[in-house]
Amino acid sequence: YQGADMNVFELNESSVRSYCRSFPVVFKQARGAELITRDGKHYIDFLAGAGTLNYGHNHPVLKQALLDYIAGDGLAHGLDMYSEAKERFLETFNRLILEPRGMGDYLMQFTGPTGSNAVEAALKLARKVTGRSNVISFTNGFHGCSIGSLAATGNQHHRGAAGISLSDISRMPYANYFGDKADTIGMIDKLLADPSSGIDKPAAVIVEVLQGEGGLNAASAEWMRKLEKLCRKHDMLLIVDDIQAGCGRTGSFFSFEGMGIQPDMITLSKSLSGFGVPFAMVVLRKELDQWQPGEHNGTFRGNNHAFVTAAAALEHFWRDDGFARSVLAKGQRIADGMARIVRRHGPGSLSVKGRGMMLGIRCPDGEIASAICRHAFDNGLVIETSGPHGEVVKCLCPLVISDEQIDQALGILDKAFAAVLS
């Protein structure tokens, strides 16, 4: 790696297994959409902890809520024990998120603290409730790295290391996989109805409305409605994995809002706590709650610090639609800037992908995309790639980023594309 602090890189590489190849500096502080290194260098954050920091680093309101809670000796962790912090989160999520969206009859199940664990819980519950084990997932989908969630994951890059047989998943073509004319849902319908396809009747379908790791492929409202219909026709549960696209990322709390669908389960994690505190849950239809005690345990489910920051984030950002509107406006600003970059540096070979504030530029290949990210990093922008070949330069910045920071970051990206593609 050129142009980085090699001492730091070597130290990290030799002393711990989990070293960072892309950003070989030591970060010390972070505020909003800005990261600051030990040496005082400032970076704009277009990664935001892989989407865990939608509300920015150390948001003052969330930070104060946590500081007050700790100062008052609020319990940090209580497993399943009922606590005031848990009660407040449940009440707030219900009042500000579920009820206004006509979802007042959904329940919340706290799982282990990772997105993967929420996916495991949803897949397990779908199998238990239906008595079937096969699950449909989609090409280029990403659902986690535990064995069940990995089985549902299409991305070979993530699956590679496992090298093990991961059964009971039928991976089907995602929206637009064959171009926008092909009827993928019709194809799946036909395969499900044909015993010669060898597909066991599935318990559920798990889908991202906008594929985060898979390269920002977006499903249309029409495709999602057809998928829901297919689920009803074949008696399959519809699980929306909103771990990355949820919590405001697309300009609404859930990524599927306004699409006219009602998933049976929704998995949430990443930005749910709003503060980077690990937290995950499944939102499920009441009648699916057939868990018996101990059937999906996990020592760190229901962390009280996460409840505190999550409730504070909901109160601060989701009392009205001002925040959601600002996300759409900023998303448009980023999309416009990206479109200008595409026009300037490769209208034939580059394209803008995604929606809301989950956007990226598709490059001809992964090497080009990585070189662009490295150039951007050297000039003060932390940004990563996604997609099956790492070919999409992806913006996943905090949703609270300012217009000035957006423009600055786009300027850095513009120069990076010019340098790498010239």
Contact residues toward ligand PMP (CB under 6 A) are 50, 114-116, 119, 142-144, 208, 212-213, 241, 243-244, 269
Rounded distance between C-alpha atoms, residue 417 and residue 344, angstroms: 9
Query: From the CB of 358, what's the least distance to ligand PMP, in Å?
Result: 10
The token pair at 316 is 């601060």
Helix (H, G, I), strand (E, B) or coil at 85: helix
DSSP letters spanning 151-200: HH---HHHHTTT-S---SEEEEPPTTTT-TTS-HHHHHHHHHH-GGG-PP
Nearer to ligand PMP, 114 or 252 (CB): 114
Query: From the CB of 208, what's the least distance to ligand PMP, in Å?
Result: 5
Kindly give the residue spans of alpha helices, DSSP state H, lying in 321-397.
322-345, 366-378
Nearer to ligand PMP, 192 or 259 (CB): 259
Nearer to ligand PMP, 126 or 420 (CB): 126
Closest CA to 213 of 392, 380, 403, 19: 392
Query: From the CB of 325, what's the least distance to ligand PMP, in Å?
Result: 24
Query: From the CB of 245, what's the least distance to ligand PMP, in Å?
Result: 7
Residue number of the CB closest to ligand PMP reads: 115
Query: From the CB of 153, what's the least distance to ligand PMP, in Å?
Result: 8
Rounded distance between C-alpha atoms, residue 16 and residue 6, angstroms: 15
**Do residues 346 and 381 make contact, with C-beta atoms less than 8 angstroms apart?**
no
**Do residues 371 and 390 make contact, with C-beta atoms less than 8 angstroms apart?**
no
Nearer to ligand PMP, 112 or 337 (CB): 112
Query: From the CB of 146, what's the least distance to ligand PMP, in Å?
Result: 7
Rounded distance between C-alpha atoms, residue 124 and residue 288, angstroms: 11
The b-or-e profile of 331-350 (16+ CB within 10 A means b, else e) is: bebbbebbeebbeebbeeeb
Rounded distance between C-alpha atoms, residue 168 and residue 175, angstroms: 22
- For 308, counting Cβ atoms within 10 Å of its Cβ (0-12 exposed, 13-18 middle, 19+ buried), the class is buried
Rounded distance between C-alpha atoms, residue 276 and residue 274, angstroms: 6
Rounded distance between C-alpha atoms, residue 273 and residue 113, angstroms: 10
Nearer to ligand PMP, 123 or 288 (CB): 123
Nearer to ligand PMP, 116 or 385 (CB): 116
The token pair at 80 is 């399943």
Query: From the CB of 110, what's the least distance to ligand PMP, in Å?
Result: 14
Nearer to ligand PMP, 130 or 267 (CB): 267
Nearer to ligand PMP, 34 or 120 (CB): 120
Query: From the CB of 71, what's the least distance to ligand PMP, in Å?
Result: 29
Helix/strand/coil percentages in the chain, nearest 5: 40, 15, 45
Query: From the CB of 172, what's the least distance to ligand PMP, in Å?
Result: 17
Nearer to ligand PMP, 152 or 420 (CB): 152
